Amino acid sequence: MDAGSRWGILSNGEWAHRYRLSNDAGVEAQLSDYGATIVSIATPDRDGTPGEVTLGHSSLGGYLGSRAYFGCVVGRYANRIRDGMFTLDEVTHMVTRNHGRHHLHGGLRGFDKVFWNLEEASSSGASFSYLSRDGEEGYPGNLEARVTYTLNERSELRIVYEAKTDEATVVNLTNHTYFNLAGGGDVLGHVLSLDADSYTPADADLLPIGVVAPVEGTPLDFREPKRVGRGMGSAHPQMRVAGGYDHNYVLNGSGFRRVAKLAEPVCGRSLEVYTTQPGLQLYTGNFLDGSDIGRDGVPYLKHGGLCLETQHYPDSPNHPEYPSTALRPGEAYNQETVFRFTVE
C-alpha cells in the first residue's frame, strides 16, 4: 500500500485519506479511511487494458452527500430491521428509523459516514478500526470494529471483518461495492451465478416475510449462469417489489466457500465471490436515478451497477429461526469475503 494521500476535508477540519493497493497482475484498489470505503478497483480486461469496475465518486464530497453506499462498509447492522426495533436477552432496543418506519444500513450516520482509524498498513493491505459507542443510532454496547483489506498476486481482494463488544448487541457488517465490469452502461448483460437454492421472499418494504422459499422455477434462480437482465421483466410478484433484484439469498453450504460469479462477456472480466457468510443480498442498483454523478461526470442510472453484499439475513434480530447476529461480551465476530478478479 502507498503511504496515503490527503483526499478531502470535512466541515470539522478532519482530512480523509486515500490509499492504493496494487499487484503485479495489474489490479489496483483504492481505499479511504472515510467509511473504510473501496473508492476504486481497476482490473485488466481480456486484452490487458485496465479499467474501472466499481461505481463511485471522484471526490470526497460525492460520498458525503450520497445515500447510495458506494463501496463503503455498512454497519452496525447492514440491511433492514423491521420497525427499527428488536429484543435481545429480554431487553427491547429502538434503533434509528431512517427508512420509512424501518432501520436501514446502521441508521442516519452508519459506519459508511464515519472516519475509521488506519491501524496497520503494508505493501499489500490496510486495516481500519472504528469504535461505535454505546447508544450510537440506538445500538447497545461499545462495539470495536476492525476491517482489513488485502490484495494478493492471485488478484484476490480479501476483506476480514472483526468486532467485539462490552454489552450484548447485534452486528451485521458488509461491503457495499457496486460492480460494473464493463466500466459503463448497465449491468443487465452481465452473467451471474449464485450458489443458492433458496431465498427469503420480501414484503413491499423489502423486509423478509419470514419464510425461506426455493428459487426453482422463479426469476431468482441463478444456480446456472444467467444474464442479469433476463428475469427483470418477469411478472413474478417478487420482481415487482423492488424493480429488479433486491433480495437476500440463502447461500448453500457453510464455512469459507465460493458463492457467486459475475462475468461480462464482451470485455472478458469476471469476478468470483467467496465468503464465510450465510447470506448474500443481490441488489441491482434499482434506486439509482441519476442523482449520483460518477467519476467522469456521468450520472448513475438504474441498473448501472450491482452489489453482491455478503451478510446475514435482513431483520435477523427479529427472526430467531435465522442464523444469529447477536454478539455478546467475550465473543469474537469474525467474517471474511474475497472478491477475486480474473479474465476469460
Per the annotation, the verdict on 264 as an active-site residue is no
Whole-angstrom distance, CA of residue 173 vs CA of residue 162: 9
Nearest-CB residue for ligand BGC: 283
Are 220 and 280 contacting, i.e. CB atoms less than 8 angstroms apart?
no
The active-site residue, picked from 57, 93, 105, 176, is 176
CB nearer ligand BGC, residue 52 or residue 309: 309
**302 near ligand BGC (CB under 6 A):** no
**68 near ligand BGC (CB under 6 A):** yes
**287 near ligand BGC (CB under 6 A):** yes
The active-site residue, picked from 190, 303, 309, 312, is 309
B/e letters for 38-47, b = 16+ CB within 10 Å, e = fewer, are bbbbbbbbee
**283 near ligand BGC (CB under 6 A):** yes
**309 near ligand BGC (CB under 6 A):** yes
Looking at this protein, which amino acid is placed at residue 98?
Answer: N
Measured over all CA atoms, what is the biggest interatomic distance in the chain, rounded to whole angstroms?
Answer: 58
Whole-angstrom distance, CA of residue 235 vs CA of residue 242: 12
Q: Does the bond joining 76 to the residue before it have cis omega, within 30 degrees of 0?
A: yes
**281 near ligand BGC (CB under 6 A):** yes
- Dihedral of CA 259/336/332/115: which sign? negative
Per the annotation, the verdict on 119 as an active-site residue is no
Q: Which of residues 193-212 bind ligand BGC (CB under 6 A)?
A: 206
Are 126 and 1 contacting, i.e. CB atoms less than 8 angstroms apart?
yes
**260 near ligand BGC (CB under 6 A):** no
By CB under 6 A, how many residues form the interface with ligand BGC? Answer: 9
Q: Which of residues 227-256 bind ligand BGC (CB under 6 A)?
A: 246
Are 340 and 179 contacting, i.e. CB atoms less than 8 angstroms apart?
no
Q: Hey, what's the cell of 142? A: 461499545
- Segment interacting with ligand BGC, rule: CB under 6 A, options 153-161, 251-259, 279-287, 327-335: 279-287
CB nearer ligand BGC, residue 35 or residue 141: 35
CB nearer ligand BGC, residue 141 or residue 305: 305
Among candidate residues 228, 199, 231, the one with its CA nearest the CA of residue 215: 199
Residues belonging to the active site: 176, 309
Q: Please report, as ranges, the residues that interact with ligand BGC according to CB under 6 A.
A: 68-69, 206, 246, 281, 283, 287, 307, 309
